[in-house]
Amino acid sequence: MRIETNFLFDLDGTLVDSVYQHVLAWKQALDAEGIALSVWRIHRKIGMSGGLFTNQLLRETDLEISPERVDRLRRLHAEAYAGLSGQIVPLPGAQALLAALTEAGIPRAIATSGRMETAKANLDALGIDPGAVPVVTRDRVKYAKPDPDLFLAAAERLGVRIDHSVIVGDSIWDMLAARRCKGLGVGLLSGGYGTDELERSGAVRVYEDPADLLVHLDEVGGRR
């Protein structure tokens, strides 16, 4: 008897090199609303849900938080991100990692805090067909990261147990969500967070990027 491992992946900063495009897109959206905020503060929020993200940013600036403003910022961010989407490329080893899991017969899914309007460009860059690979976006759950709903929904789509899942992400919000649903959190440095931050948030292993994870896949149960 053995545990059959499966992998649940975050998308931005984990499989595609898109974190800083999101930061710049949020900066453009905030500037359009006349909200002055340093870029580094924006980066610290990347990986959580867009609604929670805007709520936190607006709280930090002591500005009025209205549903209309939150929705307007989301739309401005999506428009700005679309203008930068031509820059999005897979992170080193991302496609090879997914191919290796497929070849080994190990189930995998993608769970992203982004809505499909922004996630589609990332999936296209990866060559991922949402009809062939389970993809759960913010549109499909009530709450996104750091709540565990996205990963729970992805596990359900695969028909696997969440406590048998290896949850791979680049942010502290991924690791916090993994802890809450009792998945095994594995962190990547490719989103800009440090090893110590990821480990404090629950990562049991930290690798540089998907290519580094692929080399060490057997360390986290990625074998048949």
Active site residues: 10, 12
Q: Quick check: bond before 146 cis, omega within 30?
A: yes
Closest-CA residue to 209 (of 179, 187, 224, 194): 187
| 9 contacts 111 by C-beta, under 8 angstroms | yes
Strand extents, DSSP E, 80-221: 108-111, 135-136, 165-169, 184-188, 205-207
As beta bridge partners, residue 185 has 167
* Longest Cα separation, the chain: 59
- Cβ contacts of residue 9 below 8 Å, gap of 6+? 15, 108, 109, 110, 111, 168, 169
Q: What are the distances in angstroms from CA 27 to CA 38, 78, 123, 150, 191?
A: 8, 12, 23, 25, 17
- Cβ contacts of residue 36 below 8 Å, gap of 6+? 30, 61
Closest-CA residue to 162 (of 153, 170, 175, 171): 153
